[in-house]
Structure 1
């Protein structure tokens, strides 16, 4: 299949997922001061927006409609099995280590409210198991809030020919809203109704301030539709420019910039680089590197890795008595972390994810 066939699988995307999850994991095991874990999450968001939009546009082009029921069934099958397995493991760990059962925390986890629960209530760390196993789920909540409305929005915008302008307006509005929230909450004060109980994380974790991370990916998917792709997308320079934008976002350390424009610069740079990487003839060797079989495997396991590595951090701290901090940890900490990450990840991926993926493909057809 040609690369710009919307039904074609693009292996390099799995390689990029591997890059994303490795950024997150390395950041969380003590190297957050030098490895930008937040960039890994933003890259996840951009890839997700690109893939979902690409699939929905392909369905629209083939059938003139979107099967909303099948779309949401696929989303449930994509996320829920591994999430429930993670919840079961986390629940056993919390019970064994004496962490209290709090119904509201479980409801926030199960119904994708973890980000706003974390901001307005908080997932308190238990002395025996910190960080809280459910606090990592904020990013899943952001994605699912977006996709709850996006398919219907896409249909309405495509029918009227407004898709790309709407994505641009959405990205600009997200940036403007971050400036408003930062002005109100950036000093650590501000109204609790807007800023929450933990205003330092308000912009990083809230759906309303992170929407453009996916919107940029959605816009690039629109530009890359078959028969409509602009020549510049397939040039060499968009990847170079996008990479420079991401690097600039990491080098500028001003706090106001990091809370506001940094997200736009990163998300826009990722989208620019994504289109060029996937479709430009100049980047075939880089696509081949990202399509290396071990990278593909890590990318396909990235969702399960994302979940279980966080529980493994808490278990390693509990087993060794070392609190979560910057490296170095002791050898025992890393040994516990690796076992507690890799064993359940492998079991859930091959025992649950792979069989459920076959059912998702049947729903797509």
Structure 2
């Protein structure tokens, strides 16, 4: 088979993936595009090419979007069946996340001692155990000097799985006993704000090691996931009834966030350096990320939605899980082999594509058989009569505000580097 024909077959396969999701769920192309932007931010940050894009912002986007979609799945199941099967929910999560993680670890086993700063097989196997049991956060909190090396990025997976473990039964119980989704959304939003505030009051400038532990703590990170959850509840309760007022609220929130960040930078410049609290921006970035997701989930026609649907962004978003898993070990191995960063990017994408098409998709088909209901809240994309001008301002303001806050949050990585030599992962 010639190269042109092979290339054409590859393109056809990509188009099929874009048209027909393997897990049977309804996909919103702009949300896949947002995943792509988030994972590319993280990859660029770890490549250390000096672009200055907030890798931390990519993580915040992932967490907010995950909370939004997962809650939408739970609410969608409840609305369709009158109940939520927590067991099936856990089974679906296992089928979605575990196969690709196990594949990566199995492939990396021969290189284990090369994938941590100590060059230790013992450290490698401890890191593997933490990754497979979703306890990376616990390891990093209670032993801030432990370097998980090329598996360090699994701390975000641990945060999500720990959240799912608690949120699924809580959400199912609340849906069964709470009459109004808006009331539930208010409670969830209040809890989210309370948890995110931990990043402000628990920080101590004289305890950089404690700052590292705070960065990985799951409880304040749950606040970002709950922001997405509150958004899903709001959109579900308002589906088909959104008016111009919704766009005005988005616009006001985005502009207020932007002005607030500008004011803080002007009047409290230490917030933008290691002398201040480098975690202070995480709650602000989380709110801005929520505004962005809200805009994308309520309109297919906005400028931001159209930009994020430009190929190949939606496809990159579909393979973003594999990209997130593979990019750190590939960067480490390519650096040890003396290969360039461009080679690392190519190998990362190749590994993620193989993982998605050969391993993840068969399990996604199995996952599809465990869920036939939709994602609540996403029906607002086609049904909401929103005002494009105000919505565009909201998206632009939220994006600028969030990107402006990202350099603050990145300061924690600098503090970690000062306190503990070795690679730190977002």
- The two structures have a TM-score, normalised by structure 2, of 0.71
Matched with 1:118 is 140
Matched with 1:225 is 236
Matched with 1:181 is 202
Matched with 1:334 is 341
Q: Is the 8 A contact 2:199 2:282 kept in 1?
A: no
Matched with 1:308 is 326
Q: Deviations over 1:157-198 (max 9, x none)?
A: 232345223212212321333333214xx4226xxxxxxxx4
2: distance between equivalents of 1:200 and 1:32? 24
Matched with 2:290 is 271
The range that moved more, 17-26 or 219-228, is 219-228
Q: Is the 8 A contact 2:141 2:214 kept in 1?
A: no
Q: Is the 8 A contact 1:246 1:266 kept in 2?
A: no
Count of paired positions: 331
Q: Is the 8 A contact 2:141 2:213 kept in 1?
A: yes
Runs of 4+ in 1 over 6 A off after TM superposition: none
Unaligned runs of 5+ in 1: 1-6, 126-130, 190-197, 321-331
Q: Is 2:131 aligned against 1:109?
A: yes
Unaligned runs of 5+ in 2: 1-24, 373-426
Matched with 1:245 is 257
Matched with 2:364 is 357
Q: Say which of 180, 194, 201 aligns to 2:212.
A: 201
Matched with 2:156 is 139
2: distance between equivalents of 1:265 and 1:96? 37
2: distance between equivalents of 1:222 and 1:338? 38
The range that moved more, 16-25 or 308-317, is 308-317
- The two structures have a TM-score, normalised by structure 1, of 0.82
State the SS of the aligned residue for 1:225. helix
Q: Say which of 34, 39, 48 aligns to 1:30.
A: 48
Question: Shift of the alpha carbon at 1:279?
Answer: 1.1
2: distance between equivalents of 1:205 and 1:343? 29
1: distance between equivalents of 2:228 and 2:245? 13
Q: Deviations over 1:261-302 (max 9, x none)?
A: x22211112112221232147x43432221223111100010
Structure 1 segment 42-81 matched on structure 2, within 5 A: 42-81=60-99
2: distance between equivalents of 1:187 and 1:284? 46
